[in-house]
């Protein structure tokens, strides 16, 4: 999947990432690749948080998650890299709902 992802990632790529049982290592790796990978992760994290909050679907447990404060620091840096307001807002939503991941 990593070699095939393309814009717009909202046409199924981030959903596929969520369904791939991603790990923290995947999140870190993808956000260090190209913009399309980073955006996929942003949308995937937001979708994961939304699904878990809705309780209508039970997303997998993300393996190897860092501490909550390390995750927040990571997200703050990710948010700072974003140019588009929509992406900034998605990352902010994940930060505001960080407890859902733990």
Q: 0.75 exceeded by the pTM? A: yes
Q: Is 64 left (phi over 0), alpha (psi -120 to 50) or beta?
A: left
If one counts every other C-beta atom within 10 angstroms of the C-beta of residue 54, the result is 8
Helix axes 24-31, 35-54, angle to 10 degrees: 140
How many other C-beta atoms lie within 10 A of the C-beta of residue 7? 12
pLDDT score, position 60: 78
Per-domain boundaries in the chain: 13-101
pLDDT tens-place string over residues 38-97:
999 999 999 999 888 887 566 678 999 999 999 999 999 999 999 999 999 999 999 999
For the record, the structure tokens of 46 come out as 């937001």
- Looking at residue 51, its pLDDT comes to 86
The CA dihedral of 42, 21, 32, 48, to the nearest 10 degrees, is: 10
């Amino acid at each position: 999947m990593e070699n095939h992802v393309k814009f717009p990632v909202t046409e199924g790529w981030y959903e596929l990432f969520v369904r791939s049982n991603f790990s923290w290592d995947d999140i870190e790796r993808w956000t260090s690749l190209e913009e399309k990978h980073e955006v996929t992760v942003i949308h995937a994290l937001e979708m994961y948080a939304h699904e878990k909050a809705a309780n209508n679907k039970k997303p997998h447990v993300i393996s190897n998650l860092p501490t909550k404060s390390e995750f927040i620091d990571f997200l703050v840096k990710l948010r700072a890299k974003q140019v588009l307001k929509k992406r900034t807002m998605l990352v902010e939503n994940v930060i505001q709902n960080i407890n859902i991941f733990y």
